[in-house]
Homo-oligomer: A and B are copies of this chain.
């Protein structure tokens, strides 16, 4: 720990400095760190001792330039224009966290960028990253189009939440989760269960969730009902409006399976405002496992994807693209978290 600014400018030590001190060639120093098996134990120890004495660390820049290995995964979080970072769906932040952790375990750095309207960042052309993971709101069509094109011409892009099927994606077991949620509602005695969602949304997962819901309903001899939402609104507002029109309608409803937690949170708010008791008058289940769903009133029963596995799967996908490894099937398991919004 040499104090800097104490007079000595103290040049960063290089492999040459270490070589001199250890009495070996510069290439031997390099090999000691990049390919230690090639070096005899005795020599290796001398080099390591010298490196420690000088506080030497391999310069990433030199190493990467020469070896053409970047060692970086870029993570792009697609947002909506005009929406500040603090309002980004917390689910995406949590996913970002698990991606960064998984990357780190695989020996990659993560270059994170939040993009709304300007999708520049020529990661490959500028050799800044070996691969790109794209996550974020499905709604920013322009953003996804951009990465879809890149994906077509360069295969090192993996994504979560893409509206397009022809990209390298990783997804929740949406149908399975929806099925679990619906079966849970049926077992709890609800019968007039409506799905608050959309089949034509760019959010393909909404369709998959609706299908899982339908299967479970039909197997129980019940009729699935889709109550469509206005996908141009903010999620919570979709939930509020959805409930408002449901309550005005003729059809009896005793439970709501919402296509995502944010919609469910809005729905809970509207139900509370309308004086409806949850879970007594109406059961509600969401999908995503947002942090906020633990503190809603009442706390929301939801389907939660295993985010650790999701992050790992995305990183694995990139590695597979980079060096032809085998990739596991890209469906991430989910689990049902039963809270107080259902009986």
B122 touches A113 (CB 8 A): no
Given A1-B153, A60-B127, A101-B114, A291 and B90 touching (CB < 8 A)? yes
Closest to A98 in B: B85
A126 touches B58 (CB 8 A): yes
Given A60-B128, A85-B307, A94-B85, A111 and B114 touching (CB < 8 A)? no
Given A70-B61, A85-B101, A93-B94, A4 and B154 touching (CB < 8 A)? yes
Shortest A58–chain B CB gap in Å is 6
Distance between Cα atoms of A262 and B93 in the complex (Å): 18
B98 touches A86 (CB 8 A): yes
Q: Cβ of A233 < 8 Å from any Cβ of B?
A: no
Contact with B along A59-72 (1 / 0, CB 8 A): 11110110000101
Q: Which residues from 88 to 134 on chain A have a C-beta closer than 8 Å to any C-beta of chain B?
A: 88, 90, 93-94, 96-98, 100-101, 104, 109-114, 122, 125-128
- Copies of this protein in the complex: 2
Shortest A332–chain B CB gap in Å is 13
Shortest A291–chain B CB gap in Å is 5
Question: Which of A12, A56, A111, A112 has its CB near the most chain B CB atoms (within 10 A)?
Answer: A112
Residue of B4, B55, B75, B128 near A125 (CB, 8 A) is B55
B65 touches A61 (CB 8 A): yes
Q: Which residues from 2 to 55 on chain A have a C-beta closer than 8 Å to any C-beta of chain B?
A: 2-5, 12, 55
Shortest A167–chain B CB gap in Å is 15
Closest to A307 in B: B86
Contacts of A5 on B, CB cut-off 8 Å? 155
A110 touches B112 (CB 8 A): yes
B97 touches A93 (CB 8 A): yes
Stretch at the interface among A224-232, A240-248, A252-260, A293-301: A293-301
Shortest A319–chain B CB gap in Å is 17
Distance between Cα atoms of A30 and B154 in the complex (Å): 26
Told that A104-B113, A110-B112 touch, could you supply 10 new A-B pairs with CB distance under 8 A? A4-B155, A60-B126, A61-B64, A84-B308, A90-B93, A93-B94, A96-B96, A272-B297, A292-B294, A295-B295
17 A-B pairs with CB atoms under 8 Å apart are A2-B153, A3-B152, A3-B153, A4-B154, A12-B127, A57-B125, A61-B65, A84-B307, A85-B94, A85-B100, A90-B90, A90-B93, A100-B114, A109-B128, A268-B295, A295-B296, A295-B297
